[in-house]
Structure 1
Amino acid sequence: MMAETSFDLIVVGSGPGGYVAAIRAAQLGMKTAVVERDQLGGICLNWGCIPTKALLRSAEVYRTFQHAKDYGLSAEKIGFDNAAVVKRSRAVSRQLNQGVGHLLKKNKVTVIQGTATLKGGGKLEVADKDGKTTGYAARSIIVATGARPRVLPGLEPDKKLIWTYFEAMVPEAMPKSLLVMGSGAIGIEFASFFRTMGAEVTVVEILPQILPVEDEEIAAHARKQLEKQGIRILTKTKVAKLKKGADSVTATLEDEAGKASELTVERVISAVGVVGNVENLGLENTKVKTERGVIVTHGFGRTDEPGVYAIGDVAGPPMLAHKASHEGVLCVEAIAGQHPHEMDKLKIPGCTYCHPQVASVGLTEAKAKAAGYEVRVGKFPFIGNGKAIALGEAEGLVKTVFDAKTGQLLGAHMVGAEVTELIQGYVVAMNLETTEQELMQTVFPHPTLSEMMHESVLSAYGRAIHF
């Protein structure tokens, strides 16, 4: 074994949590290294957030072509080249993967390729692809190893007929029929993509509503639009069994009463959540504790082992890239002796890029009431907005939830065109502890979709102008 190499900080994993933490550490003058066993940028950049958005953009353009007549345009012989759609998505990921490499180099962060094992006492070992190990030491170690698809016993993906998101992103051919298990953001985004590209899609969800973390009214609106596009949605239903054929899968579905039915499809996508990558890290050589498949942390990523921290998906929900990045920055600043503000998980926005898009921040109406708040709720539909009508995107809803006593904005929930871009206005407002009065007095530009955000606030106080 080679002599140990010392750093101020070693980050294990280079996803949106790890690489951002490493860059912030370098900015603060720390000698920093990142250990990565696969590709820089992690799942998000290579197999998650970014390539799926590229696929969904292809679907969006294809959908627009199909509705050319609605815009006074003509487009004939509309089709798509499956290989070219996938190739574009991979090229987008490759460009960003190279960008992360450039940023780490620019910030003088050492990149170590291999698999890390914690040895305790600020030491770790990295095995390269040939199994050769090198020892390293660091005053601080951040575990940012992310998560992987959850596998349900008896419903295991085989990567050929039963896919995880990895295989769903690079289909060799477009399946004619598809079953999606799970209706969280990942499941619904794939259902939306494959339906737009012509597949017959069925979504099965064990809970009573799709997009279970979203406001009930917003999820119901999204469901109605997805069903209108021809997606079959079965809630309060579970996949009891999957039987594989030569080039098809027969699923046994059970409703809440236990009544069984069968559905045969070409492919199945398993989108039943993710589980933290806590195995084979050498955590047993430390005092780091895990619970429900994630590392237990105590503010700013601290674990039970002095000098070892955890951020991002491996440190628990919400399992979102932007949460991981922010957590990484706070963790590093705390290590550096600065005094960052603790992250408020209620102010982390969530976005789903199906058609129509869904975005939210803060408490849903039901959760606000359950927390004991007396609420004022405002709503404004897309049909009342000039820009939405001009875009040909008049289906949607903006909903705001306020504390009736103080005017505090407790939550905002949207479904419709471009809401993933709009939600940040409410996130900023919540972080600034804005009240309804300040939002009412804000001038929103016309004609924009953002005016609906203003109208939704006005609506909560009986003052909406355009509806």
Structure 2
Amino acid sequence: MADTNYDVIVLGSGPGGYVAAIRCAQLGLKTAIVERELLGGICLNWGCIPTKALLRSAEILHYAQHAKDYGLKIAGAIEADLEAVVKRSRGVANQLNQGVTHLMKKNKIAVHMGEGTLTGPTSLTVKGEKGEEKLTAKHVIVATGARARDLPFAPADGERVWTYRHAMTPKEMPTKLLVIGSGAIGIEFASFYNDMGVDVTVVEMLDRVVPVEDADVSAFLEKSLTKQGMTIMTGAGVEDLKVTAKGVKAKIKDSKGKVNETEFSHCITAIGIVPNTENVGLDKLVEMDRGFIQIDDYGRTKSKGLWAIGDCTPGPWLAHKASHEGVTTAEAIAKELGNKEVHPHPLDRANIPGCTYCHPQIASVGLTEAKAKEAGHDVKAGTFPFIGNGKAIALGEAEGFVKTVFDAKTGELLGAHMVGAEVTEMIQGFVVGKTLETTEAELMQTVFPHPTISESMHESVLASYGRALHI
């Protein structure tokens, strides 16, 4: 019989769970992981990664359609083959799923496939391919993630009303698409389908798209998406949604309070997430707030030996936040088990970057200008447009800007906000800067390579202090 007693059991194998398991194993702990569906969780199989593959196909299509802007001629019609685009995306996800399987073997982590239910803080049963197994451990990490929230009056059916999972493997191309919610998921799918030639309408309850971003970024993105042919409705709500044989009929209340009924072929709901914390045996073991498990800075719950990380705990609900928490929790557990070499650090939420892979891309870290002022900072903020950057112009990507926000008294970098080509790859420069507690002085003294779009980061810092060179 297989061994069923471990130092650590991780429930859930997403980017939080599998990373926690690897770090536990690296620290010499006997580790197991329990997964009911696919190793790598939502992120690798149904989220971050396959969506980026889809968006890449849409981006290539966009470039091909604008080949003449680059002095190129492409003979014949350029068409999207939806089946082939989806197949490529699934292939990418499959490759990464196999990669995680390999990492589990390499790190000698026992994998129990099946539905895990806690029977106490440090014990659980797994119902799966081997029947029912009883597992025990010194510590258990809950990393059960979250799922898409349904509209109460129109639950997703996979036919006409989709969540991100359906939108990733569509049976047919929508003709007229309604996207409800303009957070990262909603806006990425709106961008993908718009680039694929679909007539897209986005409805956002709040007064601007991507509402967590800086107001300047929201305004720029809305203008850009509208120019690309999308219909953007902010301060609006879907009051009713009826599925018909041909699509959906939506009653949409606009910002002026007027209600119109419009027909669409399909609808994507992207109105937030619900934590997967029901039916796991957590009820008496942890404190919860709206279903999210309450933890301390290291992932401890109120039950000794029981920890939680990732999307089933308070936000931001991002894969990289979950992975970071996984490492912190693994190290905190190792320390409790007597390892004197580890020194876990709690997560600093002010230094977690956010990236949205619409077209143009968005990336940010830290406080928006409005939030910095709300927090009582005397602010210096500056913006540098891509039109002043040589590399952006050479790439034909002169749309966008970088904005930085500093504390006027101390020079502390409070936040950075970008919109435009490849900004998701550039934000990390500011994240490193914030983690090192940089001020404007170090950033000004940093030599940025030429010609790169990253020079606009340098210029935005200079602009915050009235010293920009190229505008």
Whether these two folds match at TM > 0.5 is: yes
TM superposition shift of 1:155: 2.2
CA distances 1:112-147 after superposition (whole Å, capped 9, x unpaired): 0001111115211111158x3110100000000000
Is residue 195 of structure 1 aligned with residue 194 of structure 2? yes
Give the aligned partner of residue 282 of structure 1.
281
Matched, 1:116 2:116: yes
Select 1:325's aligned residue among 316, 320, 323: 323
Q: Is contact 1:146-1:313 (8 Å) kept?
A: yes
Residue in 2 aligned with 1:81? 81
In structure 1, what is the Cα distance between the partners aligned to 2:397 and 2:63?
11
Note the C-alpha offset of 1:307: 0.4
Shift of 1:287: 2.4
Structure 2 residue aligned with 1:340? 344
Out of 391, 395, 398, the position equivalent to 2:395 is 391
Change (3 A) 1:439 1:121: closer
Counterpart position of 1:291:
289
Which whole-Å CA distance do the structure 2 matches of 1:250 and 1:162 have between them? 11
- Structure 2 gaps, min length 5: 336-341
Q: Structure 1, residues 11-65: CA drift from partner, whole Å, max 9, x if none?
A: 0000000000000000000000000000000000000000000000000000000
- Name structure 1 gaps, 5 residues minimum: none
Residue deviations 1:389-422 (CA, integer Å, cap 9, x gap):
0000001010000000000000000000000000
| Distance of 2:168 and 2:291 partners within structure 1 | 25
Retained in 2: the 8 A contact 1:3–1:135? no
Give yes or no for the alignment of 1:420 onto 2:424.
yes
Rounded to whole Å, the distance in 1 between the matches of 2:274 and 2:105 is: 31
| CA distance in 2: counterparts of 1:280 and 1:339, whole angstroms | 34
Q: How many equivalent pairs are there?
A: 464
- The answer for the alignment partner of 1:315 in structure 2 is 313
Q: 1:153 corresponds to which letter in structure 2?
A: P
Shift of 1:339: 2.5
Structure 1 residue 450 and structure 2 residue 449: aligned? no
CA contact (8 A) 2:156 2:163 kept: yes
Q: Is 1:90 paired with 2:90? A: yes
Q: What's the secondary structure of 1:301's corresponding residue?
A: coil
Cα offset for 1:429? Answer: 0.3
- The equivalent of 2:381 in structure 1 is 377
Pick aligned residue for 1:438 from 432, 437, 442: 442
| 1:42 match | 41
Note if contact 1:4-1:135 (Cα within 8 Å) is conserved in structure 2: no
Deviation at 1:333, TM superposition (A): 0.4
Q: Residue by residue, what CA displacement relative to the aligned partner does 1:174-193 show, whole Å, maximum 9, x if unpaired?
A: 11110000000000000000
Matches within 5 A, 1:46-65: 46-65=45-64
Structure 1 length normalisation: TM-score? Answer: 0.98
Q: Is the 8 A contact 1:4 1:134 kept in 2?
A: no
Mapped pair 1:249 → 2:253: no
Q: Which residues in structure 2 correspond to 1:35-184 (within 5 Å)?
A: 35-76=34-75, 77-128=77-128, 132-184=131-183
Q: TM-score, normalised by structure 2?
A: 0.97
* Aligned-partner Cα distance in 2 for 1:333–1:187: 35
Cα separation, 1, equivalents of 2:429 and 2:285: 41
3-state SS of 1:69 partner: helix
Deviations 1:415-465 (A, max 9, x none): 000000000000000000111001000000000000000000000111100
Q: How far apart, in 2, do the equivalents of 1:257 and 1:227 lie?
A: 19
Partner of 2:4, secondary structure, is: strand
Over residues 169-214 of structure 1, what are the superposed CA-to-partner deviations in whole Å (9 max), with x where a residue is unaligned?
A: 0112211110000000000000000000000000000000100110
Distance 2:463 2:186 in 1: 33
- Which residue identity lines up with residue 168 of structure 2 in the other structure? M
Contact 1:360 1:413 in 2 (8 A): yes
1:222-272 per-residue CA deviation (whole Å, 9 max, x = no partner) reads 111011000100001000011111121110001244321011110000000
Identity %: 62
Indicate the RMSD between aligned Cα atoms, in angstroms. Answer: 1.1
